[in-house]
Chain A
């Protein structure tokens, strides 16, 4: 493993993640073609594109869920050996992902959801439940800011609202001192007030010195918080846009034009 994971404060690297000519095939279908992308420290990058443009695939490749068919991935300017790149390794390299509805297990209590995959356990693998609950309680109150809303570490995820779930998942990522937090459509299917909460969580990511990749369908939400927008179309990056150069309406028209060009 890389030693740099232990010293996130020292800026010894240019980009947190850099992809070079990444390809991904599912059978004969090419989901990603020649993707080159670099994410700098403490920047919020919006990833947009139509359904099936390859946004989710790109994220999965970047975070070790599925390996790319070809190409190179650098984390903190170091080339990753793709044969042993995994979610666990991405965690070790301080990359955390918050999936739309796949980050938390519905029937399990909050505290288990915080620690699953990296439990506080003794060398025989038995979990220190008391400590896990204490720390989970602390994250709940201090990092996420859930006070007196009837949510405890023993609540099951199924009882929480969509915005609360995103808060839990983002809070978990921040607790693990991620340098890069990937958000996969965090506001999908949320009400207005819930969306506000999520946007605030994203701002917290920025102000805490971390980087964020924000995948979003709703252009207004992503336009509001992102510093740079990457447009994906049929598996390839087709444009890079700065929100200050383009309003939400212009952006929408641009994307519609893109669809008609085929």
Chain B
């Protein structure tokens, strides 16, 4: 059966449809904006600007895969970013500031997890509320100020987290290779292993499939959900610190732009909005697509205002695509509906 062999190979490659879309889109932009997309610098720029988005989207892949949602992460970017920036700048605490920033994200995530798992608030509502709370806290504590980290490049924190290790290199693109790309790659690979081969990843997918089934097979659903939101908090804090260091500046609403883009990246990548199915590789390519659209549209000559519109549209199309491609029941009802329309006589009848 050579045919089914080919199909099984296609299905065996994680995130294949999205990789194809990515390649097509890349080819399109290479054609419409060759001066940008045939040069290496756009790609090194991606490596320095995309890591925060990728980290957030990877965390959300777990959360959405478990059938939950987290809307709180933009607030964690603000709050943990603030904790880090103030300790780094005002108190000169260096690596302690990094640890405190991460700890604050973990704490916020843990509280989200407790609200969802133990108190039983639907995650949509719980994290919407905590998003307002922590954004408010960050604004109150920072007094609405931004913190410019001017001499940050001198510090070992900056050099290790977002530095340019090959800055002295003769090759221009190599000199711009950023450290955050390395860290992000390591975290992504590790979490890919967790999702596909670790107990926790399996539990996440079973919880996303059905809370009830998960309970009867002996998964401690509440505890795994708390871990899930704590992981999200940790990753959002990592993103916050990278973002603050890369910009050498903290400002209160630095997380706001990520809400749509991170969720869109996850769903474009092929993780199911109903939970139970999640793909890290798909998410990473989803992030590349979201980032590329931004750069590509502007380089093609459209105004920045178009970027969100097109991202929203692609987001919607991909959700509809996955809905009907991967959920056989929905596909059947969809075609049944279509058939009824044809039977109605408005459309030409099918053979």
Binding site for B on A (CB under 8 A): 65, 86-88, 91, 97, 99, 102-108, 112, 116-119, 121, 124-127, 129, 158
Contact indicator B218/A127 (Cβ below 8 Å): no
Contact indicator A106/B197 (Cβ below 8 Å): no
Complex Cα gap A104–B206 (Å)? 9
The interface-forming segment of B130-138, B208-216, B309-317 is B208-216
Contact with A along B186-225 (1 / 0, CB 8 A): 0000000100011110110110011011111111000000
Partner of B218, one of A105, A117, A124: A117
Complex Cα gap A20–B199 (Å)? 36
**Listed A/B pairs (13) with beta-carbon separation below 8 Å:** A87-B216, A102-B216, A103-B217, A105-B205, A105-B206, A105-B213, A107-B205, A107-B276, A112-B205, A116-B217, A125-B199, A125-B200, A127-B197
Contact indicator A91/B218 (Cβ below 8 Å): yes
Contact indicator A103/B216 (Cβ below 8 Å): yes
Contact indicator B218/A87 (Cβ below 8 Å): yes
Q: Would A121 and B199 be within 8 Å (CB), given that A65-B216, A102-B213 are in contact?
A: yes
Q: Residue on B with the closest CB to A117?
A: B218
Binding site for A on B (CB under 8 A): 193, 197-200, 202-203, 205-206, 209-210, 212-219, 272, 276-277, 328
Contact indicator B213/A125 (Cβ below 8 Å): no
Partner of A107, one of B203, B209, B214, B219: B209
Complex Cα gap A108–B219 (Å)? 15
Complex Cα gap A232–B231 (Å)? 46
Contact indicator A112/B216 (Cβ below 8 Å): no
| Min C-beta distance of B47 to chain A, whole Å | 29
Complex Cα gap A248–B199 (Å)? 47
Q: Residue on A with the closest CB to B277?
A: A107
Contact indicator B198/A125 (Cβ below 8 Å): yes
Complex Cα gap A116–B220 (Å)? 12
Complex Cα gap A104–B209 (Å)? 9
| Min C-beta distance of B333 to chain A, whole Å | 15
| Min C-beta distance of A122 to chain B, whole Å | 10
Chain A contacts of B272 at CB under 8 A? Answer: 107
Q: Would A106 and B209 be within 8 Å (CB), given that A112-B202, A126-B193 are in contact?
A: yes
Q: Residue on A with the closest CB to B274?
A: A107
Given contacts A87-B218, A103-B216, A125-B198, list 11 more A-B pairs with CB under 8 A: A91-B218, A103-B213, A104-B213, A105-B209, A106-B209, A106-B210, A107-B276, A116-B219, A117-B219, A118-B218, A121-B199
Contact indicator A158/B198 (Cβ below 8 Å): no
Contact indicator B276/A108 (Cβ below 8 Å): yes
Chain A contacts of B214 at CB under 8 A? Answer: 105
Chain A contacts of B219 at CB under 8 A? Answer: 116-117
Q: Residue on A with the closest CB to B11?
A: A154
Contact indicator A97/B193 (Cβ below 8 Å): no
Partner of A88, one of B193, B203, B212, B218: B218
Q: Residue on A with the closest CB to B205?
A: A108
Contact indicator B215/A87 (Cβ below 8 Å): yes
Q: Would A127 and B199 be within 8 Å (CB), given that A106-B210, A108-B209, A116-B206 are in contact?
A: yes
| Min C-beta distance of A208 to chain B, whole Å | 22
| Min C-beta distance of A112 to chain B, whole Å | 6
| Min C-beta distance of A241 to chain B, whole Å | 29
Contact indicator B199/A119 (Cβ below 8 Å): yes
Contact indicator B216/A86 (Cβ below 8 Å): no
Complex Cα gap A222–B185 (Å)? 57
Chain B contacts of A88 at CB under 8 A? Answer: 218
Contact indicator B216/A99 (Cβ below 8 Å): yes
Chain A contacts of B218 at CB under 8 A? Answer: 86-88, 91, 117-118
Chain A contacts of B276 at CB under 8 A? Answer: 105-108
Chain A contacts of B197 at CB under 8 A? Answer: 126-127, 129
| Min C-beta distance of A232 to chain B, whole Å | 20
Contact indicator B206/A126 (Cβ below 8 Å): no
Contact indicator A65/B210 (Cβ below 8 Å): no
